[in-house]
Structure 1
Amino acid sequence: MQGFMIVLGIILLLVLLSNIENKRLVTSKYTIVSDKLPKDFHNTRFVLLADLHNNSFGKQNARLIRKIKEINPEFIITAGDMINKRESCCPSNGYSLMKQLSKHYTVYYSLGNHEQRMKQLWELQNTSDTEESVISTWVEYINELSNLGIILLDNQSTYINRKNGKLRITGLSIEPKYFEHNKSPEMPVEYVESLIGKRTDKEFQILVAHNPIYFQTYAAWGADLTLSGHLHGGMVRLPGVGGLVSPQVQLFPKYHSGNHTEEGQHLIVSRGLGSHSIMPRLFNIPEIVVVTLQCEGERSLYEHSC
């Protein structure tokens, strides 16, 4: 009996700790240096947000918005899952945040598996009356984002132009099979090309791809910088080890968070801002990611705080 009470006490303590942690926010800063980046984009700073899952930091995400304003980014990129599947998209905390941010910044919005699932359910039109009332809010959500001037990147690309240079931002939306539990099917480069076309060689390419485990494919496609989320930092983070398990129930995921560089191509993975259903977060404080782009030859010190 005493042993049971000790175990119960530890569990309750961890639950309390998780609840306290999940109300906090940290900022992680990364500098990406590339000789492909036009000089007009040297020291460009933007914020990456991912996996809000309708979480809120203060009323209408006031604390989150205040921190972003303190960072003063030039634009914002979201790597998906700002909402939850099978929950109202509009109104929602995700929509409220997008509405507030769009008043001050250009927002580039790429889809996560939760947005893609809502889109898929809407397109299937094969749901119960109860589900339909929720899923119909997906169309309202997308329309409202467009009305707010938010740039939706659903297997689409856009350019940011400055004087004599430009950079390209592409949002990649992949099939549900690439998010299934206990599975990691191969993703050939040809598949990515079938969704977003072949990479052009003229400009610095940012690829926003929710699931980071296919970084090798994204790099082979030609992404200079891939931005991802999805793995929630490995949910439970262990000192000296990192993330414990992915939402796809795979232990010790390689790209659980942080900055990864292979052969000059970069991946930045956000630990995310929230969680959903029964997925825990422990020793894993919600994260705002700040990325600074620099031209080769004008490099400043790499900075990372967490």
Structure 2
Amino acid sequence: MIEISRRSFILGSALALLSYSLLEVNFLLVKKYTILVKGLSPAFDGFTILHLSDLHNKEFGHKQEKLLNLINKQEFHLVAITGDLVDKRNPRVMPGIHLVEKLSHKPVYFVPGNHDWWNGFKFREQLIESGVKILENQAEKFSLNGEHFWVVGVDDPYLGRDNLGQALLNVNDAAPKILLAHAPNIYDAAIKSGIDLVMVGHTHGGQVRLPILGAIVIPGQDLFPKLDYGLFTSGKTSMIINGGLGESVLPIRFNMKPEIVLLTLRTDQ
């Protein structure tokens, strides 16, 4: 009788965890960071970036209504999308297009991810027509009130398509550099190049995170990977790993809700 009760408890617990994991994929979270940026002009003090990543053609309501309702409640000045709008197993483009079309009232920057390339990045022109600026190993000066910082974008590091040296070729002053990339593999190169802030996705935070231990596995890293989720710093370089909106391989999340990130810049002057 005791053995049957124990088995029932284990089975019931497993089913409860699975049910929660299937439900958590639809719980949206707003994650906020404040980053001190050396040399940032006071004109950008309080400047906020909305960071989105890894939609994987997921839909939050009709034409992303639920997701957009949450976004529209936030205050931000620029949008950064770090890849994987589509999923290679079911590469539907319109969920991502419905999202970016409603964000076009703000500057929107995009760098592609591995799933975008596994689909041939066929939606490039649709993004451009929606007002999105695609950065593939290039940099653009972002100006406000006569001051500026650099938005640098590299092609997907996970597939080895990144070339940070090329991206920095036209950066001709010491203004802060904000790097967009799909995967955190770029971190060491960013540190060596003096990048101030790196914004990436790809990891989904592991999708399943164990208490204390964190993510179990992430493509391109070993078991219990170091660069899995959240804020990392080394010298002047900070990196934010976004937990993403969608899922890959398995449609589950545990202890890692889908999220949008709001990153506020502060000057050290």
TM-score in terms of structure 2 length: 0.89
> Residues of 2 paired with 1:279 and 1:249: CA distance?
21
State the 1:8 CA deviation. Answer: 4.6
Q: State the match for 1:19 in structure 2.
A: 22
Unaligned runs of 5+ in 2: none
Aligned to 1:291, the other structure's residue is in SS state strand
Match of 1:34 in 2: 37
Separation of aligned partners in 2, 1:85 and 1:157 = 28
Contact 2:50 2:260 (C-alpha < 8 Å) held by counterparts:
yes
Alignment counterpart, residue 206 of structure 1, candidates 178, 182, 193: 178
Measure how far apart 1:164 and its partner are: 2.6
Q: Unaligned stretches of 5+ in structure 1?
A: 120-137, 180-186, 298-306
The RMSD of aligned alpha carbons is 2.4
Structure 1 residue 69 and structure 2 residue 76: aligned?
A: no
Mean Cα deviation higher: 148-157 or 193-202: 193-202
Shift of 1:279: 6.3
Distance 1:290 1:155 in 2: 24
Contact between 2:25 and 2:251, CA under 8 Å: does it hold in 1?
Answer: no
| Count of matched residue pairs | 266
Tell me what 1:162 maps to: 144
Contact 1:258–1:269 (CA under 8 A) maintained in structure 2 = yes
Equivalence for 2:135? 153
The Cα of 1:235 is off from its aligned counterpart by: 2.1
CA change 1:44–1:26 in 2 (3 A) is same
Out of 280-289 and 9-18, give the one that drifted further.
9-18
Q: Does 1:247 align with 2:234?
A: no
Between the two proteins, what is the percent identity of the paired residues? 30
Q: Deviations over 1:247-284 (max 9, x none)?
A: 33621121211111111211011011111223642111
Decide which of 89, 98, 101 is 2:100's aligned counterpart. Answer: 98
Specify which structure has the higher proportion of helix. 1
TM-score computed with the length of structure 1 as normaliser: 0.79
Whole-angstrom distance in 2 between the partners of 1:8 and 1:227: 40
The code of the aligned residue for 1:144 comes to Q
Which residue is 1:219 aligned to?
A: 191
Q: Determine the structure 1 residue equivalent to 2:267.
A: 295
Distance 1:223 1:41, change over 3 A: same
- Structure 2: distance between partners of 1:93 and 1:210: 19
C-alpha distance 4-173 of structure 1, shift in aligned 2 (>3 A): farther
Q: Deviations over 1:193-214 (max 9, x none)?
A: 1465486442110111111133
Distance 1:178 1:147, change over 3 A: closer
